[in-house]
Every structure is written in structure tokens, then in C-alpha cells.
Structure 1
Amino acid sequence: MGTAKFIFAGAAAIGMLALPAFADDMNGMITRIDRLNNTISIQQMQKGTVGGSAGGAGSLQEYKAKDAGMLESVHAGDRVTYTATATDGTGTLTKLQKQ
């Protein structure tokens, strides 16, 4: 019985590691907005170095907006600065600002 608990605890820890890490003030481009379901998809922009391929596309993430009003002033194709958190395996958009 103790071994089973250890295995399940290990699997839960691995599942938590699979969640994307969110940082403050990420930059991206909106690829899709679903105002009926209050979700938004953002293509995260990779940070580049001088002489590098700055502005390259990074991972695509879908977020649930903290409140519906956040999505009213933005459209697909807009570049944004945003902040998100992970709650129960779901990304929640907490801040969204058009660049």
C-alpha cells in the first residue's frame, strides 16, 4: 500500500512539472479570441538577442480570461503584454494590455 501511494505522488509531481511556467509581463500576439467561452489564444514571442532572430514565435497557449471585459478591446493579430497564472492545470489570464 505504501508503494502505491509513492507511485501516485510521483505521478502527480510529474504532472505538475508538465504545466507551463508563467512569468510576469510576457509578450505575444493574439491568434484567436472566443468571447462566448471567455478564452484567448496567444502566441508567445521569444526574446531574442542583438543580431539574433528577435521576435520569433514561441509556444501557443490558450487562457481563460479572469473577467470577460479583458477581451473587449483586443482582436486577433494584436500584439500584447500579458500575465497569466496556472490554476488546476488551466492557464488564467490576469492582465492583458495591447502594445
Structure 2
Amino acid sequence: MEFVRIVSVGAVVFLTVSPAAFAEQAHTGTITEINRLNNTIAIRPTQDGTVGANANGPSDQFKAGSGVSMDAWHAGDRVSYSASGNEGAKTITKIERVRPGVQQ
């Protein structure tokens, strides 16, 4: 009975923590649009793999989180970023320029 309780508690902890951990994962992409009036940025994620990868895929829209300045960014910049939130309200929590020639 003790084993079942330990497994149950472990499963609950995993399901509670894992979405937050995956949401903060670093991604790479290219900035396609910046709206400084609305404090939003559109980033087209870098495709994984090579077979069937389409460079013209859809861009994701994000709000800039507190402490994230949009002054240094321009359309076409390659970036590494972390975001939080669900499908309806995504927020950039960290953004960095990807140096040319550096594989992520």
C-alpha cells in the first residue's frame, strides 16, 4: 500500500512540474515582426530536422515580459528565447541574439 501511495504522489508531482519546465525551454527562431506600440513580437521557430522542413512556416506572437526590452531587436534577427504561458497568451521571458555560425 505504501508503494502505491509513493507512486501516486510521484505522478502528481511530475504532472504538476513538467508543464512549467517545458514552457521555459529555450527555443530558437527568426524575428518576423516587432510592434513596439503594442509591445509584441512575432518569431518564426526554427524547424527541427531537414526532411520536409519549411522555412516559411507560421510565426508565433508573444508579448514582451517585464524586463525584456524590444529596442535592440529587428526583423530578421536570429534569436534564442524562452516563453511562458499557454496558447492564448504567450510571454517572452528571455531573449538573446544567436551569433552567426553557432548551432543551437
TM-score, reference length from structure 1: 0.64
Moved beyond 2 Å, runs of 4+: 52-59, 67-70
Q: Name the structure where strand makes up a greater proportion of residues.
A: 1
Paired AA for residue 79 in structure 2: V
Where do 5+ consecutive residues of structure 1 fail to align? 1-20
The structure with the larger Rg is: 2
Question: In percent, how many aligned pairs have the same letter?
Answer: 39
Indicate the RMSD between aligned Cα atoms, in angstroms. 2.6
How many angstroms apart in 2 are the aligned matches of 1:55 and 1:79? 16
Find the counterpart in structure 1 of residue 94 from structure 2: 95
Where do 5+ consecutive residues of structure 2 fail to align? 1-21, 99-104
TM-score, reference length from structure 2: 0.61
How many angstroms apart in 1 are the aligned matches of 2:68 and 2:94? 11
Aligned residues: 77
Q: How does 1:55-70 map to 2 (within 5 A)?
A: 56-67=55-66, 69-70=68-69
CA shift, 1:95, in A, is 0.5
